[in-house]
């Protein structure tokens, strides 16, 4: 993952003024988009911190508009009725939410069908919604922008698969480069002549043509689209992977090959569908999509593969963002928004980070970023029952819709927040997730959590300056310097928490009083 990180000090730091308070960012606080695809019609209403979107409302209806299109040239009649009904529902829903505008885009099925214009006219007549039909290159661009929403500064190849088409786009330095489109959607592949052999020859030929147009693309491969996410679910099931979060899930080329074979050789697709939580409509397309993915990986030879839950809808949101908002770290912006909304003392996270930062001066910026996120989130779950607060914190961090987080980073952040409320991590029902990071990283997360746990006891005013840490790692010596005003706050519980932190650091601790 490549995330653009702002300077660490001054007003330009990640703790600069939150842009979601700016009027131009607040204008994005609730944005509704509808994606009319070949297989599904989905409404998403984004709300909150626009840089890392919160899904205020998210509904998908499987309509299969593109089923049979290759044979008939028309939209699927039953799918057309279902899609129109879905759009009527979505229009009423968003009207009730107070949205003044709803952006609707349609992709391959509507643009290819001879009755696509008639369908759009029906939608306009019955709902007042204007359906914008985009071509394959524009679809590729928007999908790539959706990836950039979650991975600012990323580079690699974005592959978006729908029911009737598959798009490729290259991204580098926060911009979208070359883009191509193809007919490699599973619904289209169902009609290829020549059986399995003819279909595989067709996929190979089209993929080689795509490679000639795109050139070498051996960086990261980002997978966008429901069929790819379904394959990722099967990969998780096959591997026994414990964290069922699709965004940022990683697969190796070897894993793709094994999972494609697993799907091909699995006799009971209904059982597999049930085990993986995949709809029957989607599962019908998975074997064909797996053939495409295997050939895609074999042709382009990416160094690694990441699943993106962000795609065309998120790309439409990204399109509306001012550049200064695009440049922000999506993780930090989301955490800041959560603190502003839910913490007892918004703004204290910055002070807490500044207090504990001397202990972590030598860690890389990628780790400091997670520590900052933890400090911002350290108090947002205070309403949870005290006996379960540590588990709620871990669960929120590992499963929340946060951009810019690898799975290993989710676990680190979760453990840091867990240790904000408890010294021990054993005995929870999340222990199988701990294995996603090594023992040293687990201990580092524990130190972050215990530092926050102690620091939270010294302040109930976000602007107070009551103490400072000095850390001498070679001597394993931790010094706490407290102001006279802070000494009454350093009671028995605070002392016990400080000693617990020192124990995890394998350090001796000294408490000193500052002069006035």
Q: What is the pLDDT along the chain (516 residues), one digit of tens a residue?
A: 444 444 333 333 455 555 455 555 555 568 899 999 999 999 999 885 557 778 899 999 999 999 999 899 999 999 999 999 999 999 999 999 988 789 999 999 999 999 999 999 999 999 999 999 999 999 999 999 999 998 888 899 999 999 999 999 999 988 999 999 999 999 999 999 999 999 999 999 999 999 999 999 989 999 999 999 999 999 999 999 999 999 999 999 999 999 999 999 998 889 999 999 999 989 999 999 999 999 999 999 999 999 999 999 999 988 888 888 888 899 998 899 899 989 999 999 999 999 999 999 999 999 999 999 999 999 999 999 999 999 999 999 999 888 889 999 999 999 999 999 999 998 888 999 999 999 999 999 999 999 999 999 987 666 667 789 999 999 999 999 998 888 888 999 999 999 999 999 999 999 998 776
- Strand partners for 159: 168, 223
Report how far residue 180's alpha carbon sits from residue 123's, in angstroms, rounded to the nearest whole number.
29
In the chain, where the domains are located: 29-133, 137-312, 326-461
Asked if the 326-461 domain carries CATH number 2.60.40.10, the reply is no
Report how far residue 167's alpha carbon sits from residue 247's, in angstroms, rounded to the nearest whole number.
19
State which H helix or E strand residue 469 sits in: strand 467-472
b/e map of 34-62 (b: 16 or more CB within 10 Å)? bbbbbbbbbbbbbbbbbbbbbebbeebbb
- Token digits for 116? 């696509």
Q: Which fold has domain 137-312?
A: Nucleotidyltransferase; domain 5 (3.30.420)
Give the torsion sign (CA, 85, 90, 91, 97). Answer: positive
Q: 29-133 — its CATH code?
A: 3.30.420.40
b/e map of 311-342 (b: 16 or more CB within 10 Å)? bbbbbbbbeebeeebbebbbbbbbbbbbbbee
- Strand partners for 24: none
Topology agreement, domain 137-312 and domain 326-461: no
3-state SS string for 342-371: HCCCCCHHHHHHHHHHHHHCCCCHHHHHHH
| Dihedral in degrees, nearest 10, Cα atoms 406, 408, 412, 413 | 30
**SS3 of residue 61 by DSSP:** strand
With vertex at residue 8, the alpha carbon angle to CA 6 and CA 12, rounded to the nearest 5 degrees, is 55
């Amino acid at each position: 993952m490549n995330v653009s990180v702002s300077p660490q000090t001054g007003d330009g730091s990640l703790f600069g003024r939150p842009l979601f308070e700016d009027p131009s960012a607040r204008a994005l606080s609730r944005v509704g988009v509808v994606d009319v695809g070949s297989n599904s019609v989905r409404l998403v209403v984004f709300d909150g911190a626009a840089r890392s979107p919160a899904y205020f409302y998210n509904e998908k209806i499987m309509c299969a508009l593109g089923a049979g299109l290759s044979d008939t040239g028309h939209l699927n009649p039953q799918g057309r009725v279902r899609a129109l009904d879905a759009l009527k529902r979505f229009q009423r829903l968003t009207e009730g939410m107070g949205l003044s505008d709803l952006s609707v885009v349609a992709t391959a099925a509507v643009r290819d069908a001879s009755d696509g214009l008639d369908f759009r006219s029906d939608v306009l007549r019955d709902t007042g919604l204007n359906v914008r039909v985009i071509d394959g290159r524009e679809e590729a661009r928007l999908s790539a922008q959706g990836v950039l929403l979650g991975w600012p500064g990323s580079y690699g190849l974005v592959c978006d698969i729908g029911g009737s088409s598959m798009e490729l786009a290259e991204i580098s330095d926060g911009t979208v480069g070359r883009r191509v489109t193809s007919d490699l959607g599973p619904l289209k592949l169902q009609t290829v002549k020549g059986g399995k052999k003819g279909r595989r020859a067709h996929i190979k030929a089209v993929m080689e043509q795509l490679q000639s147009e795109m050139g070498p693309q051996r960086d990261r491969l980002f997978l966008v689209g429901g069929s790819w996410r379904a394959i990722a679910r099967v990969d998780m099931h096959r591997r026994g992977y414990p964290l069922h979060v699709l965004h940022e899930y990683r697969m190796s080329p070897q894993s793709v090959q094994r999972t494609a074979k697993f799907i091909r050789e699995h006799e009971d697709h209904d059982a597999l569908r049930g085990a993986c939580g995949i709809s029957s409509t989607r599962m019908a397309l998975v074997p064909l999509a797996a053939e495409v993915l295997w050939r895609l990986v074999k042709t382009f030879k990416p160094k690694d593969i990441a699943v993106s839950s962000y795609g065309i809808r998120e790309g439409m949101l990204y399109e509306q963002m001012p550049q200064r908002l695009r440049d922000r770290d999506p993780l930090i912006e989301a955490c800041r928004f959560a603190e502003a909304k839910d913490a007892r003392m918004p703004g204290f996270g910055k002070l807490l980070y500044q207090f504990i930062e001397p202990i972590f001066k030598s860690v890389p910026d990628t780790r400091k970023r997670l520590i900052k996120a933890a400090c911002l989130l350290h108090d947002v779950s205070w309403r949870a029952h005290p006996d379960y607060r540590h588990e709620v914190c871990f669960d929120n961090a590992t499963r929340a819709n946060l951009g810019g987080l690898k799975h290993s980073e989710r676990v680190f952040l979760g453990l840091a927040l867990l240790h904000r409320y408890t010294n021990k991590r054993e005995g929870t029902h999340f222990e199988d997730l701990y294995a996603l990071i090594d023992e040293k990283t687990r201990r580092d997360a524990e130190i972050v959590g215990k530092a926050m746990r102690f620091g939270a006891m010294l302040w109930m005013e976000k602007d107070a300056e009551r103490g400072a840490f000095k850390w001498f790692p070679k001597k394993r010596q931790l010094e706490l310097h407290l102001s006279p005003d802070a000494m009454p706050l350093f009671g028995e519980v605070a002392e016990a928490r400080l000693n617990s932190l020192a124990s995890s650091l394998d350090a001796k601790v000294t408490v000193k009083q500052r002069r006035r």
